[in-house]
Structure 1
Amino acid sequence: MNRSHDASPPQAKISLLFNANKAYDRQIIAGIGEYFYSSKCGWDIYIEEDFSVHHFNYNILSSRGIIADFDDVEMAQQLSQIDVPVVGVGGSYHHRQDYPSVPYVATDNEALVACALNHLIEKGLERFAFYGLPAAANKHWAQERRAAFLRQTGARGYPGEIFEGMVTDSQTWESAQRNLADWLTSLPSQTGIVAVTDSRARHILQTCEYLGIAVPESLCVIGIDNEELTRYLSRISLSSVVQGTQKMGYSAAKLLDGLLAGRAVPDAPVVIAPEGVIARQSTDYRSVIDTMVIRSLSFIRKNACRGITVEHVLESVGTSRSNLDKRFTLETGMTIHKAIQTEKLARAKELLETTSLPVAEISRLCGYNTPQYFCAIFQQNLAVSPVKYRSNRVSLVR
């Protein structure tokens, strides 16, 4: 007996135009994938093999729909000339007329800067600066974040200083860092710096280390992106604002699916709020006035996991134990020995939470003589073993 089967609906070829050398783009693609997987929509997704866009080839031009990075000005202009349904993804704009004329999903630049500033204000800071990108970089989102910083510091009555520096590459790197060094040394102590991206924030951390500027005791630094790839490329771990990039990708895919199905889609841009701040060492600020204590804290922060003792701290600042102990306890409420131990345990917790390294290796990296001693100290201070701590954190994430 012949059985009739309903023909499967034709697959709609969808092109994703992103340059996934950036964490931002990769996370947006992940959000698109989440929608594709959960909705079971009939898409045949096309993306370049190296996850980048070199030119508009036949596969792109013959697509049923496109989701694209509209922060790429040239790409946005090219897409305005083709007759294919397009959803744009990019930064938000303060003025509605600046948005493109396609369905659009945006990261909320105003809220990203507000998150960063609020975090610094909660730390007790009252002076702020912004390290951005020059207009020559042609990054509209960077200029929007700069303007948001000036609006928000002005509205709150705080002084806000701007430095945009240079566009950096292998040819301009040294000049750019010299200019950045001049700016950083001109800032008053206890200034909070909002960097336009994590990459620019890392420039600050590197230059502060070269100059001997204590972070966060003298300058606090926060970035935007929570770029996991580069978080370990500085000795001081970077606090950062987490964008809602995966939600942006999901929303963009949902918009395109609606367009292709003939459903009404919003005329207004869909603006996605940030997820919050991941606080790390670069904003672990405590108000300390005594310059000798500031230097001691900076030395401890950089060297605690190298097995230093109180004597090493005393040598670094050139004073006696009785003198520094008294000043240190007065300013921080803890002894020098306790500060070293606290720093080592903080690093151990971070490694337990963010890596799969064996406990014995974490013990070594954090400067403990033996894994047994590390486990005993960890249990004594946190009332839980390192293994249990890790499993508890994994359970919370899930």
Structure 2
Amino acid sequence: MKQNAPTAAKRPHVAVLTETTHTAGRNTLRGIGQYIKEHEPWSTYYAPRTLGEKAPSWLKGWKGDGIIARVSSEPVMEELKALGIPFVDMIGGMPTEPGTARVSGSDEGIGRKAADYFMKNGFRNFAFLGMRNEVWSVTRKIAYFNVLHEHGFSVNELLLPSFYDSASGEYRKRSWEKVEEELAVWAATLPAPCAVFCANDDLGRYMIEACRRADIAVPDELALLGVDNDTLFCELYDPPLSSIDANHFGVGYEAASLLDGMMRGEEAPTLPLLVPAGEIIVRTSSDVLAISDPNLASAVHFIRQHACEGISVGDVAAHAFLSRSVLQRRFKAELGQTAHERILQEKLSRARNLLAETSLPLVDIAEKAGFTHQEYMGATFRKHQGTTPAQYRIQSKK
């Protein structure tokens, strides 16, 4: 049934009910805000919330025109539907409700993207870390498994109880030490090198700590990939966590567009609108090619850890228990580069990060990146990057 459209003289009154404790909720708000900027303005009602929180008490007597909400419990879903005004559910934390307009990220596409990424990096061993009874986790898992099974690969898996309490929206009370112990035991059973797809960034960051506990090298033994690209958390950990951008900004934008149409009298779609995922933001936790040679893997890990400390090819060979000539032959055969080139690659990567993310003087960056002096860093940068360090810093800030 069509809804009565608001009058032209009246701004639509829209309530937005989504959590802001995670980047998913914050990005949907950004997407909604962008849509409003590009179209007719709304009077928007919003108050900070946590995931799974009950509908606010003021909503029962509210005389608004539409609602955008992230719903994670049946009581809230029923309460919002009972209001009888246009309502759009975002992200899809529950099974699809007949007759409910929904905009969600493509969890199936996210699972496929993770599988394709790891296969292109040469991995032959795969694992999945997820949460039981969470729709998004289950959907991502099935898609990940399906792609890998089609290519003849099997997948190790560990499913934990959900971290989130759908009734209160808070993290469940549990011992994170025990969770990390369980993850460390599981990680130690995985054959290296192994690609581990973590259903979200929360799981990814706990997996990083579990690997440290089990003395497992990330990414050389286990490569880790999360979902949501929660930059604050992804870059907090060592190594920083690679993550798939689930495009919650796009979810928020499309949810606002859908609600706008419904408030103007358009029929709600019968099927959920799926917004394609964004790109994979590659950070150190997965920035590696699968290497089956244990000596070579040890050499690459040593370079990753110590390239900026003035190490030589001889130091790398000694660490890997190989002669210098054998080391160089294996590097060229497996990686298509020399050990020296790999060391330089790590130095340049460190320099780029410092240029983009800090205001340190160039002389300090050269020292921290392992170059003997600023002029050498400048010459190396121009040769391999096609620009000067100063120009690169300016471009990275745009």
- Give your verdict on TM over 0.5: yes
| Alignment match, 1:40 | 40
Residues 280-335 of structure 1, C-alpha deviations (whole Å, 9 max, x = no match) = 33333334333122112112213334454556545655666566455545543434
Quote how far apart the aligned CAs of 1:391 are. Answer: 3.8
What are the ranges of 5 or more consecutive residues in structure 1 without an aligned counterpart? 1-6
Residues 219-249 of structure 1, C-alpha deviations (whole Å, 9 max, x = no match) = 2222111221112223333322222221211
**In structure 1, C-alpha distance between the alignment counterparts of 2:235 and 2:319, rounded to whole Å:** 25
Q: Which of 155, 164, 181 is 2:159 aligned to?
A: 164
**In structure 2, C-alpha distance between the alignment counterparts of 1:161 and 1:24, rounded to whole Å:** 27
Residue type matched to 1:37 in 2?
A: K
Q: Which of 286, 293, 298 is 1:295 aligned to?
A: 298
| Alignment match, 2:20 | 20
| Alignment match, 1:3 | none
Residue aligned with 2:271, SS: coil
Residues 128-152 of structure 1, C-alpha deviations (whole Å, 9 max, x = no match) = 21110133xxx22112222323333
**In structure 1, C-alpha distance between the alignment counterparts of 2:60 and 2:256, rounded to whole Å:** 16
**In structure 2, C-alpha distance between the alignment counterparts of 1:327 and 1:346, rounded to whole Å:** 23
Range that drifts further, 43-52 or 252-261: 43-52
Quote how far apart the aligned CAs of 1:84 are. Answer: 3.2
Residue type matched to 2:124 in 1?
A: E
Aligned-residue identity in percent: 27
**In structure 2, C-alpha distance between the alignment counterparts of 1:369 and 1:17, rounded to whole Å:** 55
Residues 371-393 of structure 1, C-alpha deviations (whole Å, 9 max, x = no match) = 44432332233231122224445
**In structure 2, C-alpha distance between the alignment counterparts of 1:388 and 1:131, rounded to whole Å:** 41
**In structure 1, C-alpha distance between the alignment counterparts of 2:318 and 2:161, rounded to whole Å:** 38
Check if 1:202 corresponds to 2:205: yes
Check if 1:127 corresponds to 2:125: yes
Residue aligned with 1:185, SS: helix
Quote how far apart the aligned CAs of 1:197 are. Answer: 0.7
Q: Is the 8 A contact 2:71 2:93 kept in 1?
A: no
Cα distance, 1:311–1:156 mapped onto 2, change above 3 Å: closer
Residue aligned with 1:91, SS: coil
Pairing of 1:117-156 with structure 2 (within 5 A): 117-135=115-133, 139-156=134-151
| Alignment match, 2:359 | 357
Range that drifts further, 228-237 or 357-366: 357-366
Q: Is the 8 A contact 1:92 1:109 kept in 2?
A: no
Check if 1:273 corresponds to 2:279: no
**In structure 1, C-alpha distance between the alignment counterparts of 2:365 and 2:238, rounded to whole Å:** 16
Q: Is the 8 A contact 1:166 1:176 kept in 2?
A: no
**In structure 2, C-alpha distance between the alignment counterparts of 1:31 and 1:127, rounded to whole Å:** 37
Quote how far apart the aligned CAs of 1:345 are. Answer: 0.9
Quote how far apart the aligned CAs of 1:352 are. Answer: 3.8
Residue aligned with 2:266, SS: coil
**In structure 1, C-alpha distance between the alignment counterparts of 2:201 and 2:378, rounded to whole Å:** 34
Range that drifts further, 110-119 or 233-242: 233-242
**In structure 1, C-alpha distance between the alignment counterparts of 2:290 and 2:140, rounded to whole Å:** 28
Q: Is the 8 A contact 1:91 1:108 kept in 2?
A: no
| Alignment match, 2:169 | none
Residue aligned with 2:187, SS: helix
| Alignment match, 2:190 | 187
Residue aligned with 1:214, SS: coil
Quote how far apart the aligned CAs of 1:28 are. Answer: 0.8
Cα distance, 1:72–1:240 mapped onto 2, change above 3 Å: farther
**In structure 1, C-alpha distance between the alignment counterparts of 2:387 and 2:135, rounded to whole Å:** 48
Residue aligned with 1:233, SS: coil
**In structure 1, C-alpha distance between the alignment counterparts of 2:313 and 2:73, rounded to whole Å:** 52
**In structure 1, C-alpha distance between the alignment counterparts of 2:8 and 2:336, rounded to whole Å:** 70
Residues 158-211 of structure 1, C-alpha deviations (whole Å, 9 max, x = no match) = 212221135556742111111111111111223221110122122222222333
Residues 348-387 of structure 1, C-alpha deviations (whole Å, 9 max, x = no match) = 224444x253453544543445444432332233231122
Check if 1:10 corresponds to 2:5: no
**In structure 2, C-alpha distance between the alignment counterparts of 1:157 and 1:230, rounded to whole Å:** 34
Range that drifts further, 246-255 or 331-340: 331-340
Residue aligned with 1:20, SS: coil
Residue type matched to 1:90 in 2?
A: I
Normalising to structure 2: TM-score of the pair?
Answer: 0.84
What are the ranges of 5 or more consecutive residues in structure 2 without an aligned counterpart? 1-6, 164-171
**In structure 1, C-alpha distance between the alignment counterparts of 2:98 and 2:71, rounded to whole Å:** 8
**In structure 2, C-alpha distance between the alignment counterparts of 1:233 and 1:113, rounded to whole Å:** 24
**In structure 2, C-alpha distance between the alignment counterparts of 1:181 and 1:212, rounded to whole Å:** 9
**In structure 1, C-alpha distance between the alignment counterparts of 2:266 and 2:367, rounded to whole Å:** 58
Pairing of 1:1-398 with structure 2 (within 5 A): 9-41=9-41, 43-49=42-48, 55-58=55-58, 61-62=61-62, 63-71=64-72, 75-91=76-92, 98-135=96-133, 139-167=134-162, 171-310=174-313, 313=316, 316-317=319-320, 321=324, 324-325=327-328, 327-353=330-356, 355=357, 357-360=359-362, 362-368=365-371, 370-393=373-396
**In structure 2, C-alpha distance between the alignment counterparts of 1:170 and 1:387, rounded to whole Å:** 49
Number of aligned residue pairs: 381
Cα distance, 1:68–1:55 mapped onto 2, change above 3 Å: closer
Q: Is the 8 A contact 1:92 1:106 kept in 2?
A: no
